[in-house]
Chains A and B, each alone.
Chain A
């Protein structure tokens, strides 16, 4: 796997030779995009931060991997933390930051002691004056994986998403320009700087669900779905797949080529390439229900559509599952899901209706099965 290649502080050495501007230009050339879900060009983000005048800048590594079905960052932290730390140092060097943070998911706290040792070790060898890396432990809120909520949490406030602008890149931690990158992005940044043969199309896939071989795999973009299914080895006939939670529930198409475009065309977010396979023994409404339960628990509660909409959608699904729903309820469910998507403040709210819209569209029979009961 490319992601496990170690850079051994050579990336940092090369970065110093290139100079901050050179590093950013190189990453732009290599085509590194954010791996947290939004696929924003990393070079552009770093440049915006670097170009904002300020006496202080920050680099934050988003290790709050909370998306259900996604566990690729854990792999990197466990098996290639040195490269991750080096990626953070490269970012700090490129944007001119001194204080860096790793916001570690609360449930990953068991990884912390070892990660701390590796940070101390790399910092001691890197000899970057005044640069520190602090681990901030999340307290379990999914919303804190959202950039603005994450920053609020680091500053000790309630983890609420904030209205943009201002973007964190220009006004982040304590109002200062801040770069926030995903674990995979930062590890890739170190590798992309160092290796000339670094391949920007390789992505980490978290595979789970009704399969024999769940786990993290590396595939190039454009991989055929049948290839993924072959590796994952489902036990029964597959019925649906869910791209994370927010990606929506889709019918399995073995010939589909997985690229951001093909997935987006189906109204789904490519996100962090996590696929949950669902086989024919399941009713998709049950899947949608458990995803809805997740969102109803994890919405931060700040904006109206997400706060009030998630519970209403869950209640409607409950009604469907108890066989009490009528056609009008499905219409209301669709209206709510579209509405929440349209008007919510942050990424969580804007995607938390996807599973309902897609399941209504692709699996109407599953809904009817419940309504006939």
Chain B
């Protein structure tokens, strides 16, 4: 099909939106409410173009044969500008995160501020996710991601006309509704009206306190994403620089949550084998993801018995810092502050759960860490590569891949096979659980018994998998699309391809590791030898396991 695009004839595939056609032909059309992974709602009216003399939204319009499209007439430009002006009457672009709206403003051209801000909402200051409706431009992406991709339905629009606003049901605060704190709404907010509850100030205060021994631990997926905040391409591994930056921020010790992941695998794989052998409750479901734990407690609390009792990796490691490490280094645990750098806003909630005695004092997201590094005026790109502190810093490739969907499953299978049979898996990669398919499944034979496993990532996929959970012995769920690498605390991305690149970075780190199985980790072996005895011992149960509660939705 041929159409006329800004006076030149172009070939366009039938059924494609004007926006896609423009972008394919190198014409940039600004957008705000549009997101590549969601169906267009045509709310913001910024992507306007002229088709046959009429202004239409390019995201939702498919041209007819021979249509005449103009993308840069004065009429188009003026209409885009006025819509921006109406949405954001008084632009306050706080540049640090480079909000999408700032980019759109550059593309549209800022008009004169002719309107006064009339919104007057009370900010919703939750413990993990905070919202400020005064900044909101009603693009609806948070509502859509919460409903369609996460399947949580915690927020929606209320009221009409200029009073329309996004709110948790019944005008509650987010903290009081069935919100799983995954933070996907933050990733999708183009104006920063939703953000994580920042703990940077508290961490800085602890760092400045001479009496405190401040220890930091970083999650696997941080190393594959932090570089993006400093202008590096997606998928750049910055493990060494991150460690160096953290030391320069003033942290006394830099530990690796991958070690916590290895501990988790030892406990979880043992738990799985115990359940299979003793006819325990199956399928067993992983509990590394605090977003998923909340989802289960709100919507699937019938499954509490199916949940592994293992704490998540950083909670395990936090506990080990305050017990094992404190004892070895001769430091009073009460003087130790543990800070976790996580790709996740739900972890902020997790560390306050009364159900688990948390060793972690503060959780910072990847974005907050970027802010801290910039606050301390550290030139990230120029940093040398440094190593983790060895006390709790040796890890395996199995721990690294925790950051990607299917990673926990793959790591657990590597170790479960060894624990059950005494032999290693023939092929170390478990391809069935890799990739971006929403629900993945496979099976493995342990001692003549078939173990069927499945993974899902993104809340809506988790719901799909829960429909057919009976078929499996072992299930991994990650609340965020892509797993932790796509977590709500990660650098904001627009292109879904970014997730694939971050994932690939983690798998390449696994391939480069000398040790690729959790049970080979020398520190893990040492911890069991010196303190815990064996996986699932009484001491391990006391320190590394937890329980869950039923939560009321209303």
Residues of A within 8 A of B41 (CB): 163, 302
Asked whether A141 lies within 8 Å of B160 as measured between CB atoms, the reply is: yes
Asked whether A301 lies within 8 Å of B164 as measured between CB atoms, the reply is: yes
With a 10 A CB-CB cut-off, give which of A163, A344, A345 has the most chain B CB atoms: A163
Given known A-B contacts A301-B161, A307-B138, A343-B48, A163 and B40 have beta carbons under 8 A apart: yes
With a 10 A CB-CB cut-off, give which of A301, A312, A332 has the most chain B CB atoms: A301
**In A118-147, which residues have CB < 8 Å from any B CB?**
141, 143
Given known A-B contacts A301-B157, A304-B45, A343-B79, A310 and B57 have beta carbons under 8 A apart: no
User: Per-position contact with A for B214-249: 1 when CB-CB < 8 Å, else 0?
Assistant: 000000000000000000000000000000000000
Say yes or no: is B118 at the interface (Cβ < 8 Å to chain A): yes
Asked whether A163 lies within 8 Å of B57 as measured between CB atoms, the reply is: yes
Residues of A within 8 A of B137 (CB): 304
**In B136-157, which residues have CB < 8 Å from any A CB?**
137-138, 140, 156-157
**In A298-338, which residues have CB < 8 Å from any B CB?**
298-312, 332, 335-336
Say yes or no: is B35 at the interface (Cβ < 8 Å to chain A): no
- Please report the C-alpha to C-alpha distance between residue A301 and residue B166 in the assembled complex, in whole angstroms: 11
**In A315-373, which residues have CB < 8 Å from any B CB?**
332, 335-336, 339, 342-345
For residue B80, give the distance in angstroms from its CB to the closest CB of chain A: 9
**In B79-96, which residues have CB < 8 Å from any A CB?**
79, 82-83, 86-87
Say yes or no: is B159 at the interface (Cβ < 8 Å to chain A): yes
Say yes or no: is B8 at the interface (Cβ < 8 Å to chain A): no
Given known A-B contacts A298-B161, A309-B86, A310-B161, A303 and B156 have beta carbons under 8 A apart: no
Asked whether B114 lies within 8 Å of A307 as measured between CB atoms, the reply is: no
Residues of A within 8 A of B138 (CB): 301-302, 304, 307
Asked whether B162 lies within 8 Å of A308 as measured between CB atoms, the reply is: yes
Asked whether B87 lies within 8 Å of A310 as measured between CB atoms, the reply is: no
Residues of B within 8 A of A40 (CB): none
Nearest B-chain residue to A314, judged by Cβ: B162
For residue B54, give the distance in angstroms from its CB to the closest CB of chain A: 8
Which one of B57, B87, B156 contacts A308 once the chains associate, using CB atoms below 8 Å? B87
Asked whether A343 lies within 8 Å of B83 as measured between CB atoms, the reply is: yes
Which one of A141, A305, A311, A312 contacts B45 once the chains associate, using CB atoms below 8 Å? A305
**In A266-310, which residues have CB < 8 Å from any B CB?**
295-310
For residue B61, give the distance in angstroms from its CB to the closest CB of chain A: 8
- Please report the C-alpha to C-alpha distance between residue A305 and residue B82 in the assembled complex, in whole angstroms: 8
- Please report the C-alpha to C-alpha distance between residue A295 and residue B162 in the assembled complex, in whole angstroms: 11
Nearest B-chain residue to A332, judged by Cβ: B114
Say yes or no: is A233 at the interface (Cβ < 8 Å to chain B): no
Given known A-B contacts A163-B57, A301-B138, A342-B55, A310 and B86 have beta carbons under 8 A apart: no
Which one of B82, B118, B156, B161 contacts A300 once the chains associate, using CB atoms below 8 Å? B161
Interface SS of B by simple majority:
loop
Residues of A within 8 A of B40 (CB): 163
- Please report the C-alpha to C-alpha distance between residue A306 and residue B45 in the assembled complex, in whole angstroms: 10
For residue A351, give the distance in angstroms from its CB to the closest CB of chain B: 15
With a 10 A CB-CB cut-off, give which of A307, A308, A342 has the most chain B CB atoms: A308
Which one of A163, A296, A342 contacts B162 once the chains associate, using CB atoms below 8 Å? A296
Asked whether B48 lies within 8 Å of A310 as measured between CB atoms, the reply is: no
Say yes or no: is B43 at the interface (Cβ < 8 Å to chain A): yes
Given known A-B contacts A302-B43, A345-B45, A307 and B161 have beta carbons under 8 A apart: yes
Say yes or no: is B42 at the interface (Cβ < 8 Å to chain A): yes
Say yes or no: is B44 at the interface (Cβ < 8 Å to chain A): yes
For residue B461, give the distance in angstroms from its CB to the closest CB of chain A: 21
- Please report the C-alpha to C-alpha distance between residue A312 and residue B116 in the assembled complex, in whole angstroms: 10
Which one of B45, B62, B115, B159 contacts A303 once the chains associate, using CB atoms below 8 Å? B45
- Please report the C-alpha to C-alpha distance between residue A309 and residue B163 in the assembled complex, in whole angstroms: 12
For residue A326, give the distance in angstroms from its CB to the closest CB of chain B: 13
Nearest A-chain residue to B54, judged by Cβ: A342
- Please report the C-alpha to C-alpha distance between residue A312 and residue B89 in the assembled complex, in whole angstroms: 11
Asked whether A335 lies within 8 Å of B82 as measured between CB atoms, the reply is: yes
- Please report the C-alpha to C-alpha distance between residue A295 and residue B57 in the assembled complex, in whole angstroms: 22
Say yes or no: is B60 at the interface (Cβ < 8 Å to chain A): yes
- Please report the C-alpha to C-alpha distance between residue A306 and residue B138 in the assembled complex, in whole angstroms: 12
For residue A342, give the distance in angstroms from its CB to the closest CB of chain B: 5
Asked whether A307 lies within 8 Å of B48 as measured between CB atoms, the reply is: no
Residues of A within 8 A of B156 (CB): 158
Residues of B within 8 A of A342 (CB): 55, 79
- Please report the C-alpha to C-alpha distance between residue A310 and residue B42 in the assembled complex, in whole angstroms: 18
- Please report the C-alpha to C-alpha distance between residue A91 and residue B137 in the assembled complex, in whole angstroms: 42
17 contacts between A and B (CB under 8 A): A163-B40, A163-B42, A299-B160, A299-B162, A301-B163, A302-B41, A304-B44, A304-B83, A304-B86, A304-B87, A304-B138, A309-B86, A311-B118, A312-B86, A312-B115, A335-B82, A339-B79
Interface set of B (CB-CB < 8 Å, partner A):
40-46, 48, 55, 57, 60, 62, 79, 82-83, 86-87, 114-115, 118, 137-138, 140, 156-157, 159-164
